[in-house]
Every structure is written in structure tokens, then in C-alpha cells.
Structure 1
Amino acid sequence: MQAPILIVDDSTSFRTVARMALERAGYRVIEANDGAAALRHLEGPALRCIISDVNMPHMDGVTFVETVKTHARQRFVPIVMFSTEANLGKMNRCREAGVRAWLSKPFHSDVLVDAVRKLAGPPEAPLNESTP
């Protein structure tokens, strides 16, 4: 079975639009409504990519990313961060935590799919679990 992409965002509409775009491109997608809920997916199979919002209740995106990067199995998963704000300090903190791409909301579906394809490969590509 194909390794899933995890979408983490408190906006149901964002998750739905992102999921639909990625599924149309051939990816398998799972969802969580905040960083705390997303933690349970770290114990499952290896993830292909994580897409996360910065500002969420219970656990923000940066804290979630920092937690992912300490997880033995998931620490090399590429992470795309979304935000409605262009805060340079927050962007730098995300990059330092391990975020590989930063995209703004609202977004165009093609931009999201292209970012995932560049970071995680096409949906049919084998998953490389040990590359930073």
C-alpha cells in the first residue's frame, strides 16, 4: 500500500480541498485536525509527506514539526507548512525545525501538488525512509 500524506489543519475546508487535489494526483491522504491529533499517525506506517498549518489549537504547527523530527521512524519525512501570514520570524523557526517548504493560504492546487511531488516524489515512487 502507498505511504500516505498527512494533512494537519484545523480547517475542515482546507483539508478537504488539499485532500481532493492530492488524491486527484494519485496520492493517498490521511487527515488530522491539529498537531496533537496528528501525533497518533506517527506511530503508524511511514508517511510520504506531511502538510501542516502553522496556527492550530492544542498544538501549533511548529511544535508538531519539532515533535516529528524527534520520532525515529518519521524524522526524515518532508514537511510542507501552510500559513495565512508571512511572518519572517515564524518562517525561520519552521525552517529551523525542519520544514522543507512554506506555502501561503489561499493556495492553488497545482502549487501544492508540485511541492509534494518535488519533496516526496510521484505517488508511485518507492518511499525512501532514511533520507533527510
Structure 2
Amino acid sequence: GRSSRTGYTVSVFGGSGFLGRIITSKLAKHGTLVVAPWRNSRSMRHLKVNGDLGVVNYHEWDLRNVRSIEESVAHADVVINLVGSELNTKNFSMADANIEGSRRIAEAAKKYGVDRFIQVSSYNANPKSESEFSQPKVSVNKW
């Protein structure tokens, strides 16, 4: 509950997405210190009210900047990666978000000795699918 702490620090990449909002909220409400890496502060502001003062902490990051990823996981006990894209954007291709970004986050978690790394993929990650969305997710699941 409020004002209690679990003693864990969890970095949640993709915290502003559908699953991320729910996971971040549950962790913060139970007193887990949450590091919420963000690219757009407007999409993350609503998460701050999920826990007591200082429970949800933001860290600016960029998928291409390994140092910013490492800073986001450096003190975490658990890293949850929810980052993914269903389409190419002007900033990132699906492969950038779904494969390279996930790889960089996993490597940073390993480098800093994070106890648990949780990679959330897609129910649609089917190796037999011809979907442009499915194939990058299949690649990540092979790790």
C-alpha cells in the first residue's frame, strides 16, 4: 500500500503503452521504486500519481543511445521491456524498435547484473507468419 516499500527497483521500458501503464501502476501502488524511461514526457506524466512521492522516477532515454539505456537499468533489480512497434515511423523502423532496441536493453541489463529481465513480446509472434509485424518479434523471442 501507500507509504510502504517493497525494496525492489524496476525499470519499465514502454511504460506509457497499454500494458506499461497497468504494470507501472501496480508496481508503484505496492511500493516498488519504478524507473520509467521516457522519450516524450507528456505520455508519461500520468504515471507519476501512481505512487507516493519519489516512487515513479523518469529517465530520458533514446533507443539508439546505449548510455541512456544503461543509466535506466544501472540500479534496477528487474527490467521489463514492453517496447515494440507495429509500424515503421519517421524515427524508428519496426526492426529498430522490436529487435535492436530489445537487444540493447537486454545487453545493458546483463552488463549491470540485473537479477531479472522480462521481455514481453506478442501473441502474434509466429515463425510461420508472413506478417511484417510478426517476424521481428519472432527474432527477439529466439534469445
Q: 1:6 aligns with which of 6, 11, 28?
A: 11
Q: Residues 32 and 46 (structure 1 numbering): CA distance in 2 closer, same or farther, change over 3 Å?
A: closer
C-alpha distance in 2 between matches for 1:75 and 1:91 = 23
Corresponding residue for residue 29 of structure 1? 34
Compute the displacement of 1:20 (Å): 0.7
TM superposition score normalised by structure 1 = 0.50
Q: Residues 76 and 47 (structure 1 numbering): CA distance in 2 closer, same or farther, change over 3 Å?
A: closer
Q: Deviations over 1:73-126 (max 9, x none)?
A: 15764123154x6132334311223xxxxxxxxxxxxxxxxxxxxxxxxxxxxx
C-alpha distance in 2 between matches for 1:51 and 1:70 = 12
**One-letter amino acid matched to 2:36:** E
Instruction: Judge conservation of contact 1:15–1:31 (CA < 8 Å) in 2.
Output: no
Identity of aligned residues (%): 9
C-alpha distance in 1 between matches for 2:28 and 2:15 = 20
Provide the aligned C-alpha RMSD in A: 3.5
Compute the displacement of 1:60 (Å): 0.6
Specify every segment of 5 or more residues in structure 2 that has no aligned partner in the other structure, as ranges.
40-60, 127-134
Q: Larger radius of gyration, structure 1 or 2?
A: 2
- 2:118 equivalent to 1:79: yes
TM superposition score normalised by structure 2 = 0.47
**One-letter amino acid matched to 2:112:** R
**One-letter amino acid matched to 1:5:** V
Compute the displacement of 1:65 (Å): 2.2
- 2:133 equivalent to 1:92: no
Q: Residues 76 and 93 (structure 1 numbering): CA distance in 2 closer, same or farther, change over 3 Å?
A: farther
Q: Residues 12 and 21 (structure 1 numbering): CA distance in 2 closer, same or farther, change over 3 Å?
A: same
C-alpha distance in 1 between matches for 2:23 and 2:15 = 13
Please state whether the residue corresponding to 1:29 is helix, strand or coil.
strand
Corresponding residue for residue 21 of structure 2? 16
Compute the displacement of 1:19 (Å): 1.0
Please state whether the residue corresponding to 1:50 is helix, strand or coil.
strand
Number of equivalences: 96
Please state whether the residue corresponding to 1:78 is helix, strand or coil.
strand
Specify every segment of 5 or more residues in structure 1 that has no aligned partner in the other structure, as ranges.
98-132
- The one of the two structures with greater contact order (alpha-carbon pairs below 8 A, sep at least 6) is 1
